[in-house]
Amino acid sequence: MTLVTPLRAQDRALTLVALGDSLTAGYGLPADAAFPVQLEAALKAKGHAVTVANAGVSGDTATGGLDRVAWSVPDGTDGVILELGANDMLRGTDPAVTEKALDGIIATLKARGIPVLLAGMRAAPNLGPDYGRRFDAIYPRLAERYGLVLYPFFLDGIAGDRSLNLPDGLHPTRAGVARVVAGILPSVETFLTRLRKGS
């Protein structure tokens, strides 16, 4: 008789959901070039048993994310990568409104026992220094408030680089997404370590 050893918590495949806007959804790109797909491939290449679901909606705001978080993040999700706020910033939304919505998303997920990795955004310079200070402070403050893993700027290394963005200058190309993945990967691995310890 063969005894089957139960799967250890650290061996169990983890399910992440990337909750975001067009930067997550993969606007203007083939499905296999979207951030969640490239991130999952990069994690698997490093030996992580993980799936990353794409819950990105182009044009979504932080408030929109709050409205759909209940059905965008199904039960059984081990962790969420939260990437929202860029559209709020582009529309000049009051940073207090954005922060309240992001706080609501994080609190809702926390109540469900689902940890969050927060992917930050930064304000465009043309919005002025006052707006920039107020907007840029949202993400570090929320990360500190909730003890989250924070990746400070989702578009780090590609913002403003024409070679890594589509002609609109706002959305990354396949290569741009690969750069995003390379940048955020250490933070996601830290997040996975936390998830494993909490399993």
Q: What is the CATH number of the domain that holds 186?
A: 3.40.50.1110
Average pLDDT in the chain: 94
Q: What's the domain range around 141?
A: 11-198
pTM of the model: 0.93
User: pLDDT at residue 186 above 70?
Assistant: yes
Residue 6 lies in a domain: no
Residue 4 lies in a domain: no
Residue 29 lies in a domain: yes
pLDDT score for 7 = 41
Cβ neighbours around 111 below 10 Å, total: 8
Catalytic residue among 21, 78, 88, 171: 171
The pLDDT tens digits of the residues spanning 63-84 come to 999 999 999 999 999 999 999 9
Residue 51 lies in a domain: yes
Q: Which residues on adjacent β-strands are paired with residue 82?
A: 19, 118
| Active-site residue flag, 171 | yes
52-to-17, 104, 144, 166 alpha-carbon distances in Å: 5, 22, 25, 24
Residue 57 lies in a domain: yes
Catalytic residue among 22, 60, 72, 88: 22
Query: Could you give phi then psi for residue 56, rounded to 5 degrees?
Result: -90, 140
Residue 85 lies in a domain: yes
CB 115 within 8 A of CB 56: no
Residue 63 lies in a domain: yes
Entry field: residues in the chain: 199
pLDDT score for 121 = 98
Count the domains in the chain.
Answer: 1
Residue 68 lies in a domain: yes
